[in-house]
Amino acid sequence: MIKQVKPVGMLMGRLPKGGDLLEELNAFCGKENITAGEVRAIGAVERATLGFYNQDTREYEFHELDQALEIVALVGNVSLKDGEPFVHAHVTLGDNQGRLFGGHLAPGAPIFACEAVFTVFQTDAPFVRALDEPTGLPLWDMK
């Protein structure tokens, strides 16, 4: 099911050096009361933790990258989970050899530098995450 949303504004800014990338994105959404939106970012992190959802075991496998990395692209959405703004983001990171790593952004990525753009949406009803039985993931409840 698809629901119509209406863009009502955009916010641009820089996230603080040393903060955890995912935690800072979530904190910004909480501070600005963004409950429906899209986020994009570029920059660099000191290291990162990326997740891959194993469809067979229905569990995330996490991979730690213990090196400085460029944020080639970060794309995500903002909705509500447990009544709070929640950023679900995927990220592509590049190393100093031009190799790329990608996956689900997890806590564990200290920011070196990050510029983020948030598009805020107006919705008739909030997008709320709930357990989706067929996938085992907390997806938007589209009922």
Q: Is 63 within a domain?
A: yes
What CATH number does residue 75 fall under? 3.30.1330.80
- Per residue in 123-133, pLDDT tens? 998 999 999 99
Q: Is 87 within a domain?
A: yes
Rounded Cα gap, residues 7 and 101, in angstroms:
31
Q: Which domain holds residue 108?
A: 12-122
Q: Is 16 within a domain?
A: yes
Question: Does residue 79 surpass a pLDDT of 90?
Answer: yes
User: What is the model's pTM?
Assistant: 0.95
Q: Is 70 within a domain?
A: yes
Residues contacting 134, CB < 8 A, separation 6+ = none
Question: Does residue 143 surpass a pLDDT of 90?
Answer: no
Q: Is 113 within a domain?
A: yes
**Structural domain total, the chain:** 1
E strands, 16-99, are 37-45, 48-54, 59-65, 69-81, 84-94
Q: Is 134 within a domain?
A: no
